[in-house]
Amino acid sequence: MAYLFTSESVSEGHPDKVADQISDALIDNFLAFDADSKVACETLVTTGQVILAGEVKSKTYLDVQEIAREVIKKIGYTKSEYMFEANSCGILSAIHEQSADINQGVDRASKEEQGAGDQGMMFGYATNETENFMPLALDLSHALLIELANLRRENNEIKYLRPDAKSQVTLEYSDDNKPVRIDAIVVSTQHDDFGPEAEMLAKIKADIVAILIPRVKAKYPQYAHLFNDDITYHINPTGKFVIGGPHGDTGLTGRKIIVDTYGGKGAHGGGAFSGKDPSKVDRSAAYATRHIAKNLVAAGLCDEILVQVSYAIGVARPTSINVNTYGTSKVNLTDGEISKVVEGIFDMRPYFIEQRLKLRNPIYSETAAYGHMGRKPETVTKTFQLPNGEPKTVTVELFTWEKLDYVDQVKAAFGL
């Protein structure tokens, strides 16, 4: 029987994402000047205020206030009427040194035996329903907000947009689990107060349908056939949305974990990513399981897969590795047998994950909005600055866990 499935996304100006981006900017700056930094940094944003808290073990010293202000400015909170503005907001830092009790479980005389930074389970998922092996509803939700942010920055076709926004896409799937059409689209965008409420809402809805949707169809032609004249649109369904961002809703690091991963498809272990250095397996092992899942599906092993790994704090080797192919496997092996083969291909000890995916580099700011998974791997040059003005330029690879660099090994191991 046909069914509906929904995923949502939030923009870079959403208060929780503002917090994520500040936390990840701090991670990048620590790693840029000391690759061995251990960081767990949380951020809270509210009306005119940013609070930084967490634990750090690093040889470098940073101007955390300036870093936070630069992030806020880049997002677009640059006007006093937003009640949260880059140059005037208060910033309180309560960052302190990492617990020696935790650190002794992570650092080892032999780097290869580095222990997991925490216990827990992490999941990676992949499906062949899109070119980037991501669930389609989430991919479309991200695309809507990426284009909405582009329109805001261009300030050309639509001039009233403010940074905060959310999207949601509902897809209809056929009996054989294939997406066939978009059933509903929800877009809620913060905006200037530019007239009577009824007129504002009519203008915003008309612009979203006539300007945003065609841009998404043009930039993502692989999805164009899913758009139709029967889509139900809910545009700012609660009414006007002038008060938004951290003034409208307090933001916290790590509160958008489903937006960050697979939009409700697959599973989630519960651990957030932003603000954590790669010794925290909440982050690094989630990236590693995505890397495994994507390469297995790309190799033709199955149409869809969920990979789970689990750890004990301070212990290098995982306590379990498990896969679920949802009955779509193309090889004559049980999922348990597939798990054993996977274990032989990918070393899931934390040190080896860090090395394989080059995670001790300043690569995390780019992950903090529009999803950590399904993004395009690329090499970029970034410049960071110490409080004394000393710059450091580094060239890094972004989204290494999205590379299809193990497909040949997977094919060889499974005889594909």
Q: Give the tens place of pLDDT for each residue, 30-52.
A: 999 999 999 999 999 999 999 99
Tell me whether residue 241 is annotated as binding. yes
Would the pLDDT of 117 be above 90? no
Q: Are 284 and 353 in contact (CB under 8 A)?
A: yes
For the cut 60, the answer to whether the pLDDT of residue 267 exceeds it is: yes
Task: Flag whether pLDDT at 243 surpasses 80.
Answer: yes
Tell whether the model's pLDDT for residue 113 goes beyond 80. no
Residue 106 has pLDDT above 90, yes or no: no
From edge to edge, which strands make up the β-sheet containing 251-252? 90-97, 49-57, 38-46, 251-252
205 is in an annotated binding site: no
Mean of pLDDT values over 372-399: 94
Nearest to 78 by CA among 89, 67, 65, 92: 89
Residues in the chain: 416
| Whole-prediction pTM | 0.96
Report the greatest alpha carbon distance in the chain: 67
Q: What is the DSSP letter of 366?
A: G
Check whether 360 is labelled as a binding-site residue.
Answer: no
* 99: pLDDT strictly greater than 70: no
State mean pLDDT over 387-414: 95
49 is in an annotated binding site: no
98 known member of a binding site? yes
Q: Which residues pair with 186 in a beta bridge?
A: 168, 234
pLDDT tens digits for range 320-352: 999 999 999 999 999 999 999 999 999 999 999
pLDDT value at position 222?
A: 85
* Confidence band for 390, pLDDT divided at 50, 70 and 90: confident
Predicted pLDDT of residue 414 = 96
The answer to the question of whether 280 is labelled as a binding residue is yes
- Confidence class of residue 395 from pLDDT cuts 50, 70 and 90? very high
User: Is 276 labeled as ligand-binding?
Assistant: yes
CA nearest neighbour of 91 among 114, 116, 115, 73:
73
- On whether 55 is known to bind a ligand per the annotation, the reply is yes
How much is the average pLDDT of 284-305?
Answer: 98
Q: What band does 386 get if pLDDT is binned at 50, 70 and 90?
A: confident
203 belongs to an annotated ligand binding site: no
On average, the pLDDT of the chain sits at 95
Q: How confident is the model at residue 109 (pLDDT cuts 50, 70, 90)?
A: low
Backbone phi, then psi, for 53, in 5-degree steps?
-145, 155
Percent of the chain at pLDDT > 90 equals 88
* 28 annotated as ligand-binding: no
Instruction: Report yes or no: 119 and 313 within 8 Å, Cβ to Cβ.
Output: yes
pLDDT band at 24 (very low <50, low <70, confident <90, very high): very high
> Which residues is 189 bridged to in the sheet?
165
pLDDT of 283: 97
pLDDT at 102: 56
pLDDT confidence tier of residue 101, bands split at 50, 70 and 90: low
Query: According to the annotation, is 298 in a ligand binding site?
Result: no
Q: Quick one: pLDDT at residue 118?
A: 84
Q: Would you say 164 is a known binding-site residue?
A: yes
Say yes or no to pLDDT of 105 above 60. no
| Residue 14 is labelled as binding a ligand | yes
- Provide the Cα torsion 145, 45, 396, 55; round to 10°: -150
Q: Is 16 annotated as contributing to ligand binding? A: yes
Would you state the pLDDT for residue 220? 86
The verdict on whether residue 335 carries a ligand-binding annotation is no
Local confidence band at 164 (pLDDT 50, 70, 90 cut-offs): very high
- Neighbour count for residue 138 (Cβ, 10 Å): 26
* pLDDT confidence tier of residue 108, bands split at 50, 70 and 90: low
Query: Which neighbouring-strand residues pair with 309?
Result: 122, 321
Is residue 104's pLDDT more than 90? no
Helices of type H across 165-253: 197-207, 213-219, 245-248
Q: Say what the pLDDT of residue 100 is.
A: 63
Mean predicted confidence (pLDDT) in 89-110: 74
Domains (range + CATH), the chain: 3-10+135-244 (3.30.300.10), 16-107 (3.30.300.10), 120-128+279-414 (3.30.300.10)
Share of the chain above pLDDT 70, in %: 97
Residue 13: pLDDT band with limits 50, 70, 90: very high
Give CA–CA dist 370/375, Å, rounded: 9
Please answer whether residues 15 and 50 qualify as being in contact, where contact means their C-beta atoms are separated by less than 8 angstroms.
no
- Ligand-binding site membership of 397 (annotated): no
> Using CA atoms, how far apart are residues 99 and 287, in angstroms rounded to an integer?
25
